[in-house]
Chain A
C-alpha cells in the first residue's frame, strides 16, 4: 500500500539551517546536510529545503548546497524559494534536486508551470499555494502570505494541475504557526478535486493532527517545520503512533 508521507521542511539562509535546536547527534545543527541526513535516518519520507535568502550571493550558495544534499541524502528532496525562471530550475536540477517548488512566481506567471512540466516532467514540479480565508473565501497570497492576489485557492490549484504540476503543496496561512491542526476541510475538498498528490502544510502541533490530516484532510503527505526542529515530535514516535491509528506509513 502507498504510504502516507511525513516531510520535514528546512528553512535555509546563506547555506545554513535557520531553525533547529538541541540536536545532540550531529556536530553542526546549522548544516542542512547533517540535519537532512539525521531526518532521513529517523524515517522522514522526503525533505523540503526552502531558500529564504534574498541576495544573489546567497542563491549561489544554495545551488552549491543542493549539490551537497544530492550527494549525501538517500531519500528524495524538493527545493524551493526564489525560483522565477527556467534557468533557476535548470541549475537546481543539474545540482541534483528531485523536485522544485514554485509559489509566487507561478501566480505571477502561470505559464512557468507549463514550461517547467514540459521540459523537466510533471514529477519535477511542485506548486506551492499559500492561501488565507476571509469571509468564506480562500484567497491565494504571495510573498510569504503578505500580499493577497486575485486568485482563489481551489480554482488556482486545479489550474496548476491542468498546467502540468505534479503535486500541490497547500499552506493555510490561517493555520500556519498556530499548532492547532491542519486545514482539514479545505484539504479534503482539494483532494477531491485534484488527481495529483496533495501535501498539507500549516498547523501541525501534535501527533493527532497528522492522523487527522490523513483521515479527515485526505492528504497524501504532511509537512511541518518547527515541531520537528524543536524536537516536540520525533519522527519514529509519530510513525509508530500513525501505525496504531491504522494509517499506512513506512
Chain B
C-alpha cells in the first residue's frame, strides 16, 4: 500500500512518519502531485498558522488537488482546520471540505485559571462514530495542542469539550480529520492511524 504524507510549509510532519514507522508502515513525505494522487492513503498533517499555510497550498496548487482526492484522506490538527470552510486565524478562507467554521478559544475572565489557551494536553473525546474509532472506547484521552477549534455539525464524528464543545474529529465521504495528534497519543493514537490505514474502500 502506498501512503503519502503531504509536505508543505508546516511543522510536525516527520512525527506522523515516525508514528507510521512504529506500526511497521512506510510512507513517503511528498509534495509531488502525481505521487499524492496515486497514493492509496493520504495524510495531511501540520502545525502552523492558517493564512500562511493556505496561501502556500494555493501557490503550489495543492488546494484543488486535496479537494479532488478520492482515496481516504486524514487531516491532523491544522490539517483538520484547513479542511473546514473558514478560519478566524488570519480571516482565512479554507478548503471547504467540511462546512464547519474554525474559531479562536476565548477564555472567560472568571474561569481564566481553569481554561488556558492554547488547549494543551490530554482530553477525553466522546460521541465516537465511523470506523476510524474502531476498538476505541468513549471518553478515551488524546493529545491536543491548539488555540483554534472547529465547530460541531453534521460531519462531527467525535466531540471534545474545552470552554465549548468542539469537533475532535470530522468525516465526510473519503475525508477524515482529527484535531488531536494521533501520532502523539500513545497506543490509542496509534490505533487511529492503524484504523485509517485499514479503512475499507
Interface residues of A (CB under 8 A from B): 1-3, 5, 40, 45, 70-72, 74-76, 93-94, 96, 98, 120-124, 166-167, 191-192, 194-198, 218, 220-221, 250
Q: How far is the CB of A179 from chain B (nearest CB, A)?
A: 26
Interface residues of B (CB under 8 A from A): 11-12, 14-15, 18-19, 21-22, 47-49, 107, 112-114, 116-124, 141, 143, 145-147, 161-162, 181, 183-187, 189-190
List residues of chain B with CB within 8 A of the CB of A124. Answer: 11, 47
A-B contact pairs, 14 of them (CB 8 A): A5-B122, A45-B121, A70-B14, A74-B185, A75-B186, A76-B184, A121-B48, A122-B147, A123-B120, A124-B11, A196-B116, A218-B114, A220-B116, A250-B141
Residue pair B185, A3 in contact (C-beta under 8 Å) = no
Q: How far is the CB of A16 from chain B (nearest CB, A)?
A: 22
List residues of chain A with CB within 8 A of the CB of B112. Answer: 192, 195
B124 (CB) vs chain A CBs: closest residue: A1
Residue pair A250, B48 in contact (C-beta under 8 Å) = no
A37 CA to B185 CA, complexed, in Å: 13
List residues of chain B with CB within 8 A of the CB of A93. Answer: 11
A121 CA to B118 CA, complexed, in Å: 11
List residues of chain A with CB within 8 A of the CB of B186. Answer: 40, 74-75
A93 CA to B15 CA, complexed, in Å: 10
A96 CA to B14 CA, complexed, in Å: 7
List residues of chain A with CB within 8 A of the CB of B190. Answer: 74
Residue pair B120, A3 in contact (C-beta under 8 Å) = no
List residues of chain B with CB within 8 A of the CB of A195. Answer: 107, 112, 116-117
Residue pair A3, B18 in contact (C-beta under 8 Å) = no
A136 CA to B15 CA, complexed, in Å: 45
Residue pair B15, A96 in contact (C-beta under 8 Å) = yes
List residues of chain A with CB within 8 A of the CB of B124. Answer: 1, 3
